[in-house]
């Protein structure tokens, strides 16, 4: 009874059953030997290629071996370090290539969109530059017209001032002429009109 208990305890220590069967993959070595027991001291019962999918059933942490079932239904033990959670390169490579193609397509689309947007921005910038040039030309013309108008206004004002001075001078000369004529007429007129002769005293 004691021997059976000891054997049970040893088996429980050396071999820890997994909670459930789990899918695993053989890591990317050329191949891995399958042993009949949880160490390399057990006989080799076959080999398994890198990347093959297996089912993990038990793990012996002390010896570093795990019990697996391969795709052909063979049961055996392989080193735990050769078991991976990820598929092998042979299985992952096509997916990676597909993802690479998709990423390249997205990149090309993004690049084309960026080029189109860049071209649109360049066209818009060119149009804005043309509009700015047109505005600058119009502003220059308006500025020239304004300068010409201001010059014309100054000239007209100068002419108006000259005409006012001429008109005042004419009025002054006319007024002076009228006054002088009146004065002369006042001096000459008494001599032109005959005086009445005075009657002698005593004459009726």
Q: Is the pLDDT of residue 13 over 50?
A: no
HSE at residue 78, side-chain half, CA atoms within 13 A, is 28
| All domains of the chain in start order, with CATH | 10-87 (2.30.30.40)
pLDDT in tens, 96-144: 778 888 898 898 889 888 888 888 888 888 888 888 988 888 888 888 8
For residue 27, what pLDDT band results from cuts at 50, 70 and 90?
A: low
The C-alpha atoms of residue 34 and residue 47 are separated, in whole angstroms, by: 5
pLDDT in tens, 161-177: 888 888 888 877 877 77
The C-alpha atoms of residue 79 and residue 26 are separated, in whole angstroms, by: 10
Q: Is the C-alpha dihedral spanning 129, 132, 137, 138 positive or negative?
A: positive
Using CB atoms within 10 Å of the CB of residue 29, give its burial: 0 to 12 exposed, 13 to 18 middle, 19+ buried: middle
pTM, rounded to two decimals? 0.36
């Amino acid at each position: 009874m004691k021997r059976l208990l000891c054997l049970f305890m040893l088996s429980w220590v050396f071999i820890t059953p997994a909670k459930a069967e789990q899918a695993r993959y053989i890591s990317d070595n050329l191949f891995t030997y399958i042993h009949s027991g949880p160490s390399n001291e057990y006989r080799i019962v076959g080999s398994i290629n890198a990347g093959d999918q297996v089912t993990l059933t038990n793990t012996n942490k002390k010896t570093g071996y795990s019990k697996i079932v391969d795709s052909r239904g063979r049961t055996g033990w392989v080193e735990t370090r050769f078991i991976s959670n990820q598929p092998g390169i042979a299985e992952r490579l096509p997916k990676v290539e597909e993802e690479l193609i998709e990423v390249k397509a997205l990149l090309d689309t993004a690049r084309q969109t960026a080029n189109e947007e860049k071209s649109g921005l360049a066209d818009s910038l060119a149009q804005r530059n043309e509009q700015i040039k047109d505005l600058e030309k119009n502003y220059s013309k308006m500025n020239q017209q304004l300068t010409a108008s201001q010059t014309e206004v100054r000239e007209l004002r100068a002419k108006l001032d000259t005409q006012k001075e001429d008109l005042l001078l004419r009025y002054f000369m006319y007024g002076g002429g009228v006054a002088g004529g009146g004065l002369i007429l006042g001096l000459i007129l008494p001599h032109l009109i005959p005086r009445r002769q005075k009657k002698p005293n005593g004459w009726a």
